[in-house]
């Protein structure tokens, strides 16, 4: 009963991005992050006959009943991940073999019981044009590694710059687990603040705890989710439930508000 009440509260409370002092440039999530967002959550292709369908929300979370009923006993793949910001920077993938998964053999893909996109074997989404977002900026994620990948979570659509990529899994693991090997400490909520091209000066928060390390980039114009570029190079095998980008460095108050909300929703302990 308590769990059911908690889920109702989480699905109907005022969305987190409406409680911050700044607005995001792009938002990709499987829950509604802004009350004013009236669009769909994702567009899905089912494996049984390749039919596609837009999936919306119930309350502020993805309509998993509609999703699972549509997909049936097969797999469901994401054709379009709608942007919840005011900018409409939807992330898409037209090639079926490259589309991230959200349903496997009729079962919802999840992180800690919450719906999440899964990438294996180079599946990725992209946004071709995003304007140029220069420093400073902030990127927030909810991620899980699914084993053995050292590829790219997010990079520019063109793959440049790739020596200072947006977030490479090896960098995250090295910072958060003390090793370049995947760790059972995931899932994580990494928040990355980039204020200089010198990657060593970038600030990173793991589940609310600040550190520094190599996870920088100087600017970006278009993005690739789960890969180094639009061709799917250096893919990352794992799950991503949320990715939010801001054109400023978040204040401590805003960062903590966002991270703690993510922690509450996804069942991750946050400082």
Per-residue pLDDT of the chain (271 residues; tens, 9 = 90+): 454 444 444 444 789 999 999 999 889 999 999 999 999 999 999 999 999 999 999 989 999 999 999 999 999 999 999 999 999 999 999 999 999 999 999 999 998 889 999 888 788 888 877 766 666 778 888 887 766 555 677 766 665 544 344 444 445 544 444 444 444 444 566 665 444 334 445 667 777 877 665 545 555 667 778 776 777 777 777 788 898 888 887 888 998 999 899 989 988 888 7
- Under 8 Å CB-to-CB from 96, ≥6 apart: which residues? 45, 50, 77
Sign for the pseudo-dihedral over CA of 111, 113, 114, 115:
positive
CATH number, domain of 93, equals 2.60.120.200
Task: Identify the pLDDT of residue 202.
Answer: 61
**Residue 2 domain-assigned?**
no
Length, in residues, of the chain: 271
Range of the domain at 250: 22-266
**Residue 82 domain-assigned?**
yes
**Residue 271 domain-assigned?**
no
Task: Give the separation between CA 68 and CA 105, rounded to whole angstroms.
Answer: 10
Task: Identify the pLDDT of residue 29.
Answer: 95
8 A C-beta contact, residue 62 and residue 41: yes
**Residue 15 domain-assigned?**
no
Q: List, for residues 174-226, the tens digit of each pLDDT value.
A: 444 444 444 444 456 666 544 433 444 566 777 787 766 554 555 566 777 87
Q: What pTM was computed for the model? A: 0.82
**Residue 10 domain-assigned?**
no
Cα–Cα distances in Å, from 93 out to 70, 101, 167, 225, 237?
A: 20, 12, 20, 10, 17
Total domains present in the chain: 1
Q: Please report, in angstroms and rounded to a whole number, the separation of the first and last CA atoms in the chain.
A: 27
8 A C-beta contact, residue 246 and residue 138: yes
- In the chain, pLDDT over 90 holds for what percent of residues? 38
Q: Which helix (H) or strand (E) holds 206?
A: strand 203-206
8 A C-beta contact, residue 189 and residue 263: yes
Task: Give the separation between CA 93 and CA 58, rounded to whole angstroms.
Answer: 25
Task: Identify the pLDDT of residue 136.
Answer: 72
Task: Give the separation between CA 34 and CA 90, rounded to whole angstroms.
Answer: 15
Is residue 146 classed as helix, strand or coil in its secondary structure? coil
CA-closest candidate to residue 211, choices 182, 188, 183, 181: 188
Task: Give the separation between CA 125 and CA 84, rounded to whole angstroms.
Answer: 16
Task: Give the separation between CA 155 and CA 226, rounded to whole angstroms.
Answer: 8
**Residue 11 domain-assigned?**
no
**Residue 249 domain-assigned?**
yes
Task: Identify the pLDDT of residue 197.
Answer: 36
**Residue 208 domain-assigned?**
yes
Q: Residue 153, Cβ neighbours under 10 Å: how many?
A: 29
């Amino acid at each position: 009963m308590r769990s059911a009440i908690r889920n109702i509260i989480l699905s109907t409370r005022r969305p987190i991005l409406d409680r911050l002092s700044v607005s995001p440039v792009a938002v990709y999530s499987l829950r509604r992050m802004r009350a004013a967002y009236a669009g769909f959550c994702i567009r899905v292709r089912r494996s049984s006959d390749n039919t596609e369908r837009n999936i919306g929300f119930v309350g502020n979370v993805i309509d998993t009943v509609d999703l699972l009923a549509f997909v049936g006993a097969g797999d469901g793949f994401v054709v379009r991940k709608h942007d919840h910001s005011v900018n409409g920077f939807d992330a898409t993938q037209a090639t079926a073999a490259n589309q991230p998964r959200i349903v496997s053999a009729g079962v919802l893909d999840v992180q800690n019981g919450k719906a999440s996109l899964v990438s294996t074997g180079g599946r990725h989404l992209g946004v071709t044009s995003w304007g140029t977002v220069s420093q400073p900026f902030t990127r927030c994620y909810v991620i899980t590694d699914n084993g053995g990948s050292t590829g790219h979570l997010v990079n520019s659509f063109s793959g440049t710059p790739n020596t200072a990529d947006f977030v490479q899994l090896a960098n995250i693991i090295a910072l958060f687990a003390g090793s370049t090997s995947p760790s059972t400490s995931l899932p994580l909520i990494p928040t990355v603040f980039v204020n200089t091209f010198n990657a060593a000066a970038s600030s990173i928060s793991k589940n609310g705890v600040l550190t520094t390390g190599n996870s920088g980039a100087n600017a970006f114009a278009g993005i690739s989710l789960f890969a180094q570029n639009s061709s799917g190079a250096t893919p990352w095998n794992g799950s991503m439930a949320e990715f939010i980008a801001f054109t400023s460095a978040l204040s401590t108050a805003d960062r903590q508000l966002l991270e703690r909300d993510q922690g509450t929703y996804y069942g991750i302990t946050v400082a």
